[in-house]
Amino acid sequence: MAKIKPFKAVRPTRAIVGLVAARPYQSYTVNERESRMDYNPYSFLHIVNPGYKYDQVITGEERYKLVRNRYLEFKEDGVFIQDKKPSFYVYKIVNRHGQEFNGIIAATSAEDYEQDVIKKHEDTIEKREKTFKSYLQTVGFNAEPVLLTYPDNSVIASIIKETQKNHAEFEFTMTYRDTHYLWKIDNGSTIASIQNEFDQMKTIYIADGHHRSASSYLLYKDEKIKNANHNSDESYNFFMSYLIPESDLVIQEFNRLVKDLNGLTKEEFLIRLDSFYRIENRGPVPYTPSKPHHFSMYLDGEFYSLYLRKTRYSFNTALDNLDAQLLYKTILQPILGINDLRDDNRIEYVNGRHEMITIKSSVDNGEFKVGFGMCPATIKQMKHIADEGLKMPPKSTYILPKLRSGITIYEY
């Protein structure tokens, strides 16, 4: 049963929340980061990039300590304040395309992660898990929720809708034209009603944030061992999450670009492909696949459609049915020689926000030799793969909403 808990969030003041909120650090180019930090002293980027103050690149434990210092300075200067009562936070995002996301920010259980009540569908990298765990232990806070999804629930939907009739604590629009709203729920009976609904859910699913949740779990294990008076209620037993209903989740595809044909000529490559796919030349006009197990390919100035020859492929598990796995097993690995999708520098990924024209231009400029487009995975596929205890290949899904850092902060 899924256990969630209200918490006393540390939040920016209403007047400057739009200036504080930031995308994940890695999503900015160096120039973007520097520009924002040059002209916005309130940006959360100043906290996570403390070396900027000294015009130095600082790494490791020294950086973590300085992150902690910058965070405390933001609190001392009144940029951040902490709520006095444990609360749930109804959070709404409306993006520039008119897509709307409604959910609840809450503390979710590390024990649920351990016991597979919170299910995973992606592999994590151990080194990244441990690095972020050390970061959390030193800085003492987490500023970006894990994105979790749950089956649509009429009671929770009604509470969210009723809460949104009130004046929002926050309402601000980012430069990406995403508008964010936040309401606080600190009424005991409403909190209990929400907890009761989640308590009846056998499973909830990680949509985005597998490394953050894995690192929080490692932190929980460490702190539990160190605490002789551990009672399962300490803050380290939980991690901050944004929980949204499955119907609000948007899954887009990641398309693939490959730098060479693994020593094959164009003609040899097409002949090898023919054993797995029925191939049709679609000419120079961008072409997008229309159904599962159907890919588009751009090669040497022309688009192709690839239709799977199903006699050449066995569907034995939920993972086998995933297009990202299918592409890997029939083309990327056996023909193009790409075995490690995480570390092979011959392959890159383009998320579904970019149309096939991006694939075309990346090949036409000579940086890549061939590109592949696919249909997005579904929430049903994601859940089936997680339920079978399997893991998707990296970059199988590009999931919306994308969250901002520094809007609600969970302290350990």
Position 12 confidence tier, pLDDT thresholds 50, 70, 90: very high
Statement to judge: residues 241 and 293 lie in one domain:
no
Report the pLDDT averaged over residues 196-209: 97
Residue 394: predicted pLDDT = 87
Residue 325: predicted pLDDT = 96
- pLDDT tens string 128-167: 999 999 999 999 999 999 999 999 999 999 999 999 999 9
Statement to judge: residues 377 and 335 lie in one domain:
yes
Nearest to 14 by CA among 172, 167, 133: 172
Position 338 confidence tier, pLDDT thresholds 50, 70, 90: very high
* Straight-line distance from the first to the last Cα atom of the chain, in angstroms, rounded to the nearest whole number: 24
Statement to judge: residues 225 and 268 lie in one domain:
no
- Ranking 114-118, 175-179, 344-348 by mean pLDDT, the lowest is 175-179
pLDDT at 52 over 90: no
Statement to judge: residues 47 and 93 lie in one domain:
yes
Task: Sheet with 370-373: list strands edge to edge.
Answer: 277-283, 302-308, 294-299, 370-373, 254-258, 347-351
Give dist(CA 341, CA 70) in Å, integer.
37
DSSP 8-state secondary structure symbol assigned to residue 335: T
Residue 100: predicted pLDDT = 96
Q: Which residue has the higher pLDDT, 273 or 58?
A: 273
At 387, is the secondary structure helix, strand, or coil?
A: helix
- Using an 8 Å Cβ cutoff, are 407 and 183 in contact? no
- pLDDT tens string 392-405: 998 899 999 989 99
Statement to judge: residues 228 and 376 lie in one domain:
no
Statement to judge: residues 352 and 388 lie in one domain:
yes
Residue 185: predicted pLDDT = 98
pLDDT at 223 over 90: yes
Residue 57: predicted pLDDT = 82
Nearest to 80 by CA among 124, 46, 30: 46
Residue 380: predicted pLDDT = 96
pLDDT at 352 over 80: no
Statement to judge: residues 185 and 267 lie in one domain:
no
Give dist(CA 308, CA 292) in Å, integer.
10
Helical ranges in 332-373 per DSSP H = 356-364
Statement to judge: residues 357 and 220 lie in one domain:
no
Residue 34: predicted pLDDT = 87
Report the pLDDT averaged over residues 68-85: 97
Domain enclosing residue 275, as ranges: 254-396
Give dist(CA 22, CA 28) in Å, integer.
10
Q: Which residue has the higher pLDDT, 135 or 176?
A: 135
pLDDT at 20 over 80: yes
Q: What is the CATH number of the domain that holds 314?
A: 3.30.1760
* 173 phi/psi in degrees, rounded to 5: -120, 135
- Across 237-258, b (16+ Cβ under 10 Å) vs e yields bbbbbbbbbbebbbbbbbbbbb
Mean pLDDT, the chain, whole residue set: 94
Give dist(CA 215, CA 411) in Å, integer.
15
Statement to judge: residues 211 and 266 lie in one domain:
no
Q: Which residue has the higher pLDDT, 53 or 320?
A: 320
Residue 357: predicted pLDDT = 86
Position 29 confidence tier, pLDDT thresholds 50, 70, 90: confident
- The total number of structural domains in the chain stands at 2
pLDDT at 89 over 80: yes
Residue 51: predicted pLDDT = 86
Report the pLDDT averaged over residues 181-197: 98
pLDDT at 247 over 80: yes
H or E element, residue 219:
helix 210-226
Report the pLDDT averaged over residues 271-293: 94
Residue 7: predicted pLDDT = 98
Cis peptide before 401 (omega within 30 of 0): yes
Residue 351: predicted pLDDT = 85
Report the pLDDT averaged over residues 265-269: 97
- Using an 8 Å Cβ cutoff, are 107 and 193 in contact? no
The single-letter code of the amino acid at 64 is Y
Give the other-Cβ count within 10 Å of 94's Cβ: 17
DSSP 8-state secondary structure symbol assigned to residue 52: G
Q: Which residue has the higher pLDDT, 302 or 356?
A: 302
Q: Which residue has the higher pLDDT, 177 or 187?
A: 187
Statement to judge: residues 53 and 192 lie in one domain:
yes
Give dist(CA 103, CA 4) in Å, integer.
13
Phi-psi region at 281: left, alpha or beta (left = phi > 0; alpha = psi -120 to 50): beta
Q: How far is CA 327 from CA 181, 232, 279, in A?
A: 39, 44, 14
Statement to judge: residues 214 and 286 lie in one domain:
no
Residues 6+ apart with CB under 8 A from 39: none
Nearest to 324 by CA among 264, 402, 252: 252
pLDDT at 248 over 80: yes
Report the pLDDT averaged over residues 81-101: 95
Q: Which residue has the higher pLDDT, 357 or 92?
A: 92
Q: Which residue has the higher pLDDT, 339 or 125?
A: 339
Residue 342: predicted pLDDT = 83
Residue 149: predicted pLDDT = 98
Statement to judge: residues 222 and 114 lie in one domain:
yes
